[in-house]
Amino acid sequence: MKTIDELLAEGVTGKRVFVRADLNVPLSGTTITDDGRIRAVQPTVEKLAAAGARVIVASHLGRPKGAPDPAFSLAPAAARLGELIGADVAFATDTVGESARATVAALTDGRVAVIENLRFNPGETSKDDAERGAFADQLAELADVYVGDGFGAVHRKHASVFDLPARLPHAAGDLIATEVGVLKKLTENVERPYAVVLGGSKVSDKLGVIDHLLERADRILIGGGMAYTFLKAQGHEVGSSLLQEDQIPAVLEYLKRAEDKGVEFVLPVDVVVCEQFPDLKAKAPTEHRTVPADAIPAGFMGLDNGPETNKLYASKLADAVTVFWNGPMGVFEHPDYAEGTRAVAQALVDSEGFSVVGGGDSAAAVRILGFDENAFGHISTGGGASLEYLEGKTLPGLAALED
């Protein structure tokens, strides 16, 4: 995999460099609520611009239906990128149309442009190779060189991620190089004890990574909505908590395998419950209480780890030399149900081990809850990509950069 530094050594002055970034930031209207992914690609953009490249930044945002949708425009991300790099960033209002061609043609050495949301074109996400390839051909006409730096999208076989690198000289950006290096620390010659914290809503989203980590981790801590399927599998009532009953057989299998392999599986011992899901916009105080994890009352739903669980999890992370965390412990967006997630983040900050926050909601939670990002070993920009890498899957976007 060629690095961006090797690419720069060959010279990029005057060349049109297509940077596949991940600018898929959360928006409230047109306001960016977390610019972490934009800041993550900033070093690569600045490095190329400083070397005299004509930089074309492209990304997806959200899940539009293959057609323009103002709610998913990259215009706010382009404006924020300009603020971060301290320079005007041109913005094309389409992907490969008249605006994109004109915007790219107007670029001069060292200048940067962002083209509109790639998913406004159905060819970006098409499962048909010919349709995807046709869109990649159009994108290739805009550039001379390709730099892959959108780690959050490398697990997708999309035109700009998989097909476009085959059509242009290509290299990996600094962000992808960093992400891959970190993930290798979690899969190759791991320093122990190795603790994994998994949360989020659905256990089905994490089955593959649990399966893979049972061969590698020393202890696995479970929280979030997925914990209630584990508790139900152990025979406990979970009230109206989130439950995937169809996953109980798989959960039982994993619990048995963990026992056989000596992998410690840690589940909540107490939880914070409420009778109805809170209003995450109003964030008004709710009526909630803490109950034992094996005694959730009927009609109540678990929404966070309780204080005893928080102490337990902190103790299980205190001596870990390597920690991977993916998924919040509760509904952290509401202050009444944020303490479990806060406790895990604080345990990682307090730990002397190498900690990796595995992207997605976990990365957002760290920032929303006010933690210093530099206090963690690494905060990934790609939750799904990180998980699939840890599952041992081949990621199309990385494979496309390797030849």
Catalytic positions, please? 37, 202, 360, 384
Supply φ then ψ for residue 296, to 5 degrees: -75, 125
The stretches of 174-247 forming alpha helices (DSSP H) are 174-185, 207-213, 227-233
Residue 397: its H or E element? helix 396-399
Residues 32 and 308: their CA atoms lie apart, in Å, by 35
DSSP 8-state secondary structure symbol assigned to residue 3 = B
Residues 343 and 192: their CA atoms lie apart, in Å, by 22
Residues 58 and 55: their CA atoms lie apart, in Å, by 10
Q: Helices 174-185 and 383-390: crossing angle, nearest 10°?
A: 40
The residue whose two tokens read 């971060």 is: 84
Answer yes or no: are the C-beta atoms of 159 and 132 closer than 8 Å.
yes
Residue 104: its H or E element? helix 98-105
The residue whose two tokens read 């409230």 is: 28
Q: Helices 307-317 and 339-350: crossing angle, nearest 10°?
A: 20
Q: What is the CA radius of gyration of the chain?
A: 22
Q: Looking at this protein, which amino acid is placed at residue 151? A: F
Answer yes or no: are the C-beta atoms of 62 and 24 closer than 8 Å.
yes
Answer yes or no: are the C-beta atoms of 57 and 17 closer than 8 Å.
no
Residues 30 and 38: their CA atoms lie apart, in Å, by 15
Answer yes or no: are the C-beta atoms of 31 and 80 closer than 8 Å.
no
Torsion sign, CA atoms 91, 97, 103, 108 = positive
The stretches of 329-393 forming alpha helices (DSSP H) are 339-350, 360-368, 383-390
Q: Which burial class, exposed, middle or buried, applies to 306 when counting CB atoms under 10 A from its CB (0-12, 13-18, 19+)?
A: buried
